[in-house]
């Protein structure tokens, strides 16, 4: 009889373990940028006028990428942005990206974009600032003094499936 009870107990424990492994996360679980997050943001200039829309991704490996609605012209031509991010110690994130400017509308340049991010509860919305600084193509955008081209603010919503 004890062998039968042991087997029943083992089968019960095995079933409970399988259920625990396949239980979906609770709907109320908070989203976290730590695992990565993508936002559709609207950027405004220092006067509050619309500047562009951007899709920006804070990847779980602490890299950052962005694609901007203005990058294909007609007034300026520049590449997508690539960079890195880290937590700021105050509940937000700071990031830095680089992109390249292309002729004919501007000289070949390197631009550095310095970001601050502040998140809503569950990271579903984001607000922040961007400082855009330009450097000559052979300048040092990581440790140099460039020309600040503008200060911008943004608001955004997390992209979810």
Q: Judge whether residue 9 has pLDDT over 80.
A: no
- Are 115 and 94 a contacting pair, CB within 8 Å? yes
The per-residue DSSP string of 121-150 comes to GGG-EEEEEEEEEEEETTS-TTTS--EEEE
In this structure, the strands spanning 81-87 and 63-68 are antiparallel
Kindly report the pTM of this predicted structure: 0.80
Residue 117: its H or E element? strand 109-119
Residue 129 has a pLDDT of: 98
72 vs 24 pLDDT, higher one:
72
Q: Which residues pair with 4 in a beta bridge?
A: none
Q: Judge whether residue 22 has pLDDT over 50.
A: no
Using alpha carbons, select from 153, 161, 141, 142 the residue that is nearest to residue 50.
153
Residue 106 has a pLDDT of: 66
Using alpha carbons, select from 75, 57, 74 the residue that is nearest to residue 66.
57
Percentage of residues of the chain with pLDDT beyond 70? 80
Percentage of residues of the chain with pLDDT beyond 90? 67
Residue 19 has a pLDDT of: 43
Please state the rounded mean pLDDT for residues 57-76. 94
Q: Give the long-range contacts of residues 44-51, CB within 8 A, separation 24 or more.
A: 44/152, 44/153, 44/154, 45/150, 45/152, 46/150, 46/151, 46/152, 51/152
> Which structural domains are found in the chain, ordered by start?
35-158 (2.40.160)
């Amino acid at each position: 009889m004890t062998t039968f009870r042991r087997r029943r107990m083992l089968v019960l424990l095995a079933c409970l373990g399988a259920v625990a492994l396949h239980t979906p996360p609770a709907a109320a679980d908070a989203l976290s940028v730590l695992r990565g997050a993508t936002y559709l943001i609207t950027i405004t200039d220092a006067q509050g006028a619309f500047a562009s829309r951007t899709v920006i991704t804070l990847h779980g490996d602490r890299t950052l990428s962005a694609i901007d609605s203005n990058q294909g012209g007609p007034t300026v031509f520049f590449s997508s942005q690539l960079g890195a991010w880290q937590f700021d110690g105050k509940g937000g994130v700071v990031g830095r990206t680089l992109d390249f400017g292309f002729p004919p509308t501007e000289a070949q340049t390197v631009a550095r974009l310095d970001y601050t991010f502040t998140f809503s509860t569950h990271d579903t919305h984001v607000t922040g600032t961007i400082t855009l600084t330009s450097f000559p193509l052979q300048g040092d955008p990581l440790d140099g003094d460039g020309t600040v081209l503008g200060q911008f603010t943004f608001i955004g919503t997390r992209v979810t499936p």
